[in-house]
Amino acid sequence: MILARAFSRTELGDLLSGRLRSSAVQLAAPTELLNTNLEFAAAVWPGDGTQSRYDLPRLIVTHPGQTEHLLAWAVTYSPVIRPITAYCRVVGVDDFEVHLRSWRKPRLLGIELASVGAVLGELLSADVAFERVSRGDITGAALLSSLVFALMREAALYDIQPREASVAKSWARVRNITLQPRRNLQAEDVASIAMILRYLAEGNGAPYGVPSRVFDWCRSVMRRRPLGDSPLAEFDDVLLSGTREERVIAFDQMSRTIATSNISALEGSFLLGYLASSILPGSMRYATLLRPFIDRFTTAMVWLGVCAGFNEDSKVVSEFSGVARRVLRDLLVPEDLIDFPRCDIAIAELEILLGGDRRVEDFVRSVPSHLTVELIPGVQTSVNWPPKRSNTPVETATPAPVVPAPVTESASGLDRGALLRQLEGIQSQLEQLMRSVGGSSAPAGDSQRELFSAGAAKRPRKK
């Protein structure tokens, strides 16, 4: 049951400004609103008796295609509650129907830890965040800023794909208009990984636009089987049941082979992430071994997290001081469509405030240094706010996910000799790891911690 009432433009303005007390009629089901004469717009409250007559509506439903028009009107004529989307959601009646049909209690159907690992892998891919994530010194806002987080939150909350513009494009637009620094990962590459995870959870075949080999490899890891037809075929038995020393040798040999081959970026990234995860199955502890490769194989860290999460003995939630538990909590937190938004502003209103000749940046937010933006109902991201003006390139909107073209040596711009010299940077770490598993007097756990911390030394805090 809900409470709803249609308002004229003048009445809605009086309601939002507090000059008009709310009065509404009961509807047995939200679907009854679809047959209501909206006038200018309809305001909706939950029918659970928790609201007062002075409460703002939890949801405003307007005519199809009129969401931006209503928000622009509210920005002009109701500035006292700017931004309005911090208090109530504003959607078109056509989108409202889609949300009603697809909204569900959040669930990820067996890919929970793989999704959490992918979020951590995305953050580890950024040089500025690697050391902080490795120490577990990471904020909730940083976790919320992950594109993987937004995409997997959408997968958890919606039973079908919503009809709005893709979450990946909306995420990129938010980062663009708020002048955020550009990240190493391309949004379309991350969206491909999230799409693979979503299709695996739903038991579907390979999604359109994603190489079937990568999908099949990921499904094999999920089912704890050998990869099969892959460049790692000769090491399948070693990677699944070999000794730690044998797996280190496999990583050393195959990482060099992959790095100097013409394999595509997506396939190479998966294989490198899988190799690194096999050294200590279920763990992301050896993420530092992938750092020399991520300029070309940009999503290797993300795949490391996915593979570690799929392991039956996954340790993802207990690593990095347990920050993964917060990711899991926020991915699966229940939420109601007809309820207060958990954000500072929605993307449609943000674009109105920042898109004119004079940017309006002085609106209220929950945290002074961050802004939480709702991309679609129930799916948020976080950005630094106010933005730091600099010459650093900012995010730009990205096209829909596409299949990465095979990378040739000439196209990649990599010199084999330079690449081999770069790989020598991890040789000492691998040798140290091999010594630790081959009978060194030092405890293996201490050696592993030393290896991991070698690439993630703490930086001195500013006083």
Instruction: Render pLDDT for 38-56 as a digit per residue (tens, 0 to 9).
Output: 889 999 988 776 666 668 8
Q: What is the DSSP string of 124-135?
A: HTSHHHHHHHHH
pLDDT digits (tens, 9 = 90+) for 245-298: 999 999 999 999 999 999 999 999 999 999 999 999 999 999 999 999 999 999
Q: What phi and psi, each to the nearest 5 degrees, are found at residue 376?
A: -140, 165
Residues counted in the chain: 463
Dmax (CA) of the chain: 80
Helix axis angle, 167-177 relative to 347-355, nearest 10°? 30
Give the Cα separation of 375 and 381 in Å (integer): 7
- From 319, 321, 326, select the one nearest 305 (Cα to Cα): 319
Q: What phi and psi, each to the nearest 5 degrees, are found at residue 25?
A: -110, 155
Give the pLDDT confidence score for residue 417 in this predicted structure.
Answer: 55
Give the Cα separation of 78 and 441 in Å (integer): 71
Scanning 206-355, the segments in alpha helix (DSSP H) are: 212-222, 236-241, 244-259, 265-279, 300-310, 323-331, 347-355
Q: How far apart are the first and last CA of the chain?
A: 55
pLDDT digits (tens, 9 = 90+) for 157-187: 998 765 445 899 999 999 999 999 888 899 9
Structure tokens at 227: 């990869």
Whether pTM exceeds 0.85: no
Residue with tokens 């194989």: 297
Neighbours of 60 (CB within 10 A): 28
CB 165 within 8 A of CB 121: no
